[in-house]
Amino acid sequence: MIHDKTRELVMQSSGEEPKRIVLLLLDGLSGLPHPQTGKTEMETARLPNLDRLASRASGGRMLPIDPGVTPGSGPAHLALFGYHPFQVEFGRGALEAMGSDFDMLPGDLAARANFATLRRPTSLSSIVEDRRAGRPSDAENRRLCAKLSAALRGGVEGCQVHVLPGKEHRFTVVFRGGELSAALNANDPQREDRPLIDILPGTPEAERSAHVVNEFLEQALRILADEPKANGILLRGFSNLPQVMPFRERYGLRAGAIAAYPMYRGVARLVGMEVLGAPKNFDEEIQTLKERFAEFDFFFVHYKPTDSAGHSGDFAEKVKQLEIADAAIPRIEELKPEVLIVTGDHSTPTIHREHSWHPVPTLILSPLSLSAPGARFTERGMMAGDLGTFPATQLMPLSLAHASRLMKFGA
């Protein structure tokens, strides 16, 4: 977490031409050596532009959260935006809503949901026969969610109900209508052959939430009554959006976020960035950056394909996607940001097909960089370097320093 004393050093924007910062985030950037070649994806790829930046920049490696801790995408982004995810209370419901690209607002109440099979006749005290309703297909999930959405279009007890499809039996429900407390228990008995649990308010403030949610469940049971399997709903992880100090207040930066994927737009919005345009791919992202470059002090540009290739376990594909990102670098350089940062949110080694905890190669290019002639932008190439191995929560103070936006501490 950025120290309060450090935050006091942040300069607010002056009238002058701002010193702009571009953070290019290559999702799941780094990896591990291929068993045959001994080379990582970054070491295998031809990355002439990134290597050129690395040799001129302050380089190092960023530790996503804590040694050995593998982050999900949400926490990893919070960390590198300077909000320690261990200190931001993020309910599962809110996290899922954000991951579904739902634009959650303060006061909204989100819950994780399962389609389930209840013993008939269904009621709020039915026995749960199958907590996953026979694991429907994703298409079936979308059909069921659309059915609920259509039937509940008029809302419940004055609240809007948003039903967001997920994978198999999982989906997310968001209730919107004033301040809705999240102090509610789950109705999920956690085991089969047990009855649904009554949802009760945990505090007096949660009485209205409990009423809205129970009314929603009553109506949903009627809507789903004719479904052969998915005739019930389990709810858990009730949560509101966490409140964090907005980026502008915290860092004195007008910040714009450019991301093709919903999840990243959500986390950027959470920290108070303005989400720019609706780019469908990296090419459109760079175009958006160019068009809006005059309007902001800080840009978060998110590149997804490196992570996707890592998850799919396709080494050659990840190499290719790294090379595509590399080829776009000159288009960013043309805009002449004062500070250009290239990093990732975490590693996604293709041999692992999942995120990992390994530190992520990071470069910060500015007029105050301590260059590393000959350095390559790879996992091993960035082990020595001006930035050393630093926690992700320190990326923002370092970026501000390189943009001459942090005052000196003391005389």
Q: Mask of contacts with a second copy, 298-337, x by CB under 8 A?
A: ----------------------------------------
d(CA 254, CA 247): 8
- The reply on whether position 368 binds a second copy by CB under 8 A is yes
- Give min distance, CB of 95 to a second copy, in A: 6
d(CA 19, CA 21): 7
- The reply on whether position 71 binds a second copy by CB under 8 A is yes
Q: Which of 98, 68, 95 has its CA nearest to residue 347?
A: 68
- Give min distance, CB of 44 to a second copy, in A: 14
User: Which span sits near a second copy by CB under 8 A: 127-135, 212-220, 326-334, 376-384?
Assistant: 376-384
**E-assigned strands of 180-309?**
232-239, 255-258, 274-275, 298-303
- C-alpha dist (Å) from residue 38 to 32, 44, 239, 351: 9, 10, 45, 12
**Residue given tokens 């907005």 in the structure block:** 246
User: Which span sits near a second copy by CB under 8 A: 142-150, 218-226, 332-340, 386-394?
Assistant: 386-394
Among 355, 362, 363, 376, the residue binding a second copy under the rule CB under 8 A is: 355
- Give min distance, CB of 129 to a second copy, in A: 26
- The reply on whether position 107 binds a second copy by CB under 8 A is no
In terms of residues, how long is the chain? Answer: 411
Beta bridge partners of 341: 23, 364
Residues in region 221-260 near a second copy by CB under 8 A: none
Question: Per-residue DSSP letters for 384-402?
Answer: SSTTEEEEGGGHHHHHHHH
**Residue given tokens 């942090």 in the structure block:** 406
Q: Which of 4, 16, 1 has its CA nearest to residue 405?
A: 16
- The reply on whether position 93 binds a second copy by CB under 8 A is no
Smaller CB distance to a second copy: residue 117 or 394? 394
User: Which span sits near a second copy by CB under 8 A: 129-137, 227-235, 245-253, 391-399?
Assistant: 391-399
Among 18, 28, 85, 310, the residue binding a second copy under the rule CB under 8 A is: 85
Neighbouring CB atoms inside 10 A of 315's CB total 22
- The reply on whether position 36 binds a second copy by CB under 8 A is no
Question: Per-residue DSSP letters for 315-365?
Answer: HHHHHHHHHHHHHHHHHHHTT--SEEEEE-SSB--TTTTS-B-S-EEEEEE
User: Which span sits near a second copy by CB under 8 A: 16-24, 117-125, 329-337, 378-386?
Assistant: 378-386
**Contacts with a second copy, residue ranges (CB under 8 A):** 3, 5-6, 9, 32-33, 38, 40, 58, 61, 65-76, 85-86, 90, 95-96, 98-100, 349, 351-352, 354-359, 367-373, 379-380, 383-390, 394, 397-402, 406-411
